[in-house]
Structure 1
Amino acid sequence: MRSKIIIAALAAALTGSAAYAEETTLTISSYGGQYQADQAKAYFQPFMARNPDIKIIEDSSTSNAKLKAMVETGNVTLDLMLTDDSFGLDSDAQWLEPIDYTIVDRSKFIEGAAGNYRVASDIEGTVLAYNEQEFGDNPPKGFADFFDTEKFPGARTLWKYAASGIFEAALIADGVKPEELYPIDVERALKKLDTIKSDIIWWETGSQAEQNLASGEAAMGLVWIGRAANIADKGIKVDWTNWTSQAGYWVVPKGTKNKEAAMKAIQFFTEPEQQVEFAKLMPYGPSNKNAKIPEDSKFKGLLPTDHLDTRILMDSEWWAKNGAAVDLRFQEWLLQ
């Protein structure tokens, strides 16, 4: 009898050890701050509740360079990372695991949101925001008006970054059709930017963009939608006639030991229920085309995905190949 008890106890102990050993720890790196806190509410916590055998550890030091170094040294400590439009392209294949579309449903995403090595977490945008008090019943509408300083006088605030959408905005204002933007005619874009150069207040952080508009120093600007939404109560309005589309993307580092769990997480994070929950917290649209935002949602109307018919979809592959050269020319122009 005693031997049976001992055997049963050993069996229970071994079963418990096996269950413990099978628990997966998924390390996810994102942008930190309120953005990541809202991701935790909408994505991470519900995922762990649904998958008790997977524990998520959060990291907020997301860095393309860090990921590359991990892969190159064989010391991969991240399983899933959020990145921007500049990374996760086919040209970055050496550092990334292909998205496993037997786990992730590729058909559920809006155009441009699902690539070979990345999947959009949310759809963001750079929009034309303006001070309502400056223009009253005659606000600017679209990039052409943004460049029209006679009809719409006042300072403009722009991101001091070549791949921010300012080249696309300048060309659209100059009459180029969205489908004919690429390859970017750099000199034509800079010539158009010359027409407002003396009216530009450059920003390099989102908080600077907010301050420039909220203080009245700038009458209008091309700013991130999240920043425009932050100061809506200060009389800042958004025009959606033209806007450039960006996104946050999930990528999986090559060599992760938890590839299947990472793909499972991507699939869950991009399901309609989770996408809607995140859009209730942040003014970023869902990458899942089946996610329906309630009409009474706080950011309904301010989500980029409410205005997909007017978006300018930036060509990330083109910028990846040409960005360095364009930026060099941009820096020269800034000094002229």
Structure 2
Amino acid sequence: LEGVTEKQVIVANYGGVTEEARKRIFWEPFEARTGIQVISADEGELEVPMTMGEIPAKWDAVHGSLTNTYAAQLEGKKPLPKMPKAAWEDLIVPAKLRPYTWQSFFIAYMPSTVKGTFSGPQPETWTDFFDTKKFPGKRGWPAEYFTDGVLQACLMGDGVAPEDIYPLDYERATAKLASIFGDLIIYSEYAQAQTFLTSKAASMCYAPNGLWHELEGKGVQMSTMWEATPILQTNGMNTMPEPPNPKAVEALAVFCNEPKMQSEFAEATNYGPPTKEAFEELSPAQVEALPNSPQRSNVLPDNPIYLAEEQSKIEKEVARVFSES
């Protein structure tokens, strides 16, 4: 962390409670320690072309997934920079991808509903989520450019066992999505997903688990369907090709690889920590509530290398359903 002359580091993100937690737990202590200012930018349409090296990077890093990381390595016009070993050596992610991600955490895409939405039997599975006759009401669903986990959810909703999800059966998955398309209401921002449930515009909604944790923190009684197989995804900060502040972003990456801070972030967001040491900082009850808890056996593990290789086809197939439905 010593000897960095750059005065700022620019990180793009989705905002919300996740970024508020990052700022409090990682960014502000880093600023106090180094004097380097962490500037937050709104992640939007520039994220993909910047990460792919198609346009010059205005940011140093962006919130993304390991799938995004590997897709940029496969198809990007410029190489992604490796971070110092101290930033990633303890991460529980595929070895070939560790040098390219930092401030990592595990999320789970999963369905949720507000308690009291349904009387009698309650929805518990992906099959229940897709059954709009048994459990009436609209389903909150992401816009076509949010493709993470959606085909996997569709397949499990059609009865495919988690261990049989890969390779993806595109025909079956898209048919399932098309079958309930008329019952979907589409969100383009995560805050809308929360509003769909609290306003009762939707009876159930698909989104990252941290959104439902956030609503619970605001006093909304949620029924998050942990018995449905959570779809794990590894998230974190991906460093841009040719970042404007290369030494400062390296310093920030190293600073974030600290178990105590990782555990505090997990507690604040309900997103799982990326190191075994961070789990040791949490109570048994806190560990049990996390999507990548060692005690949680019903998850669909992340498969970033396969999904990166299939990313273009996934995007095309989801877009096709939206255009035809």
TM-score by length of 2: 0.79
For residues 240 and 185 of structure 2, what CA distance do their matches in structure 1 show?
38
For residues 221 and 158 of structure 1, what CA distance do their matches in structure 2 show?
6
206-215 vs 188-197, greater mean Cα deviation: 188-197
Structure 1 residue 171 displacement after superposition: 0.7
Q: Secondary structure at the match of 1:133?
A: coil
Which of 100, 114, 120 lines up with 1:117 in the alignment? 100
Q: Give the direction of change, closer, same or farther, for the CA distance of 1:236–1:333 in structure 2 (3 Å limit).
A: farther
Structure 1 residue 259 displacement after superposition: 3.9
Q: Secondary structure at the match of 2:117?
A: helix
> Is the Cα contact below 8 Å between 1:183 and 1:318 reproduced in 2?
no
- 2:39 maps to 1:58: yes
Which residue in the other structure is 2:170 paired with? 186
Percent identity over the alignment is 22
Which of 254, 277, 281 lines up with 1:267 in the alignment? 254
RMSD, aligned CA = 3.4
How far does the alpha carbon of each residue in 1:31-80 deviate from its partner, in whole angstroms, 9 at most, with x for none?
24543332122112223444x3x5133131444246359x667x655433
Q: Secondary structure at the match of 2:267?
A: helix
Q: Give the direction of change, closer, same or farther, for the CA distance of 1:22–1:207 in structure 2 (3 Å limit).
A: closer
Structure 1 residue 291 displacement after superposition: 0.9
Mark the runs of 5 or more structure 1 residues left unpaired by the alignment: 1-19
How far does the alpha carbon of each residue in 1:244-284 deviate from its partner, in whole angstroms, 9 at most, with x for none?
22343222233347545533422321321111222233232
For residues 277 and 60 of structure 2, what CA distance do their matches in structure 1 show?
27
* Amino acid paired to 1:212: F
Structure 1 residue 290 displacement after superposition: 2.2
Mark the runs of 5 or more structure 2 residues left unpaired by the alignment: none
* Amino acid paired to 1:320: Q
- Ranked by relative contact order (alpha carbons within 8 Å, sequence separation 6 or more), the top structure is 2
For residues 100 and 235 of structure 1, what CA distance do their matches in structure 2 show?
41
For residues 96 and 105 of structure 2, what CA distance do their matches in structure 1 show?
9
Structure 1 residue 26 displacement after superposition: 4.1
Instruction: Please identify the structure whose Cα radius of gyration is greater.
Output: 1
- 2:10 maps to 1:28: yes
> Is the Cα contact below 8 Å between 1:76 and 1:255 reproduced in 2?
yes
Equivalent pairs counted in the alignment come to 310
* Amino acid paired to 1:151: K
- 2:209 maps to 1:225: yes
How far does the alpha carbon of each residue in 1:108-161 deviate from its partner, in whole angstroms, 9 at most, with x for none?
325689445334522222211023213356321121221233433333222232
> Is the Cα contact below 8 Å between 2:110 and 2:209 reproduced in 1?
yes
Which of 233, 243, 247 lines up with 1:246 in the alignment? 233
Q: Give the direction of change, closer, same or farther, for the CA distance of 1:170–1:282 in structure 2 (3 Å limit).
A: same
119-128 vs 299-308, greater mean Cα deviation: 299-308
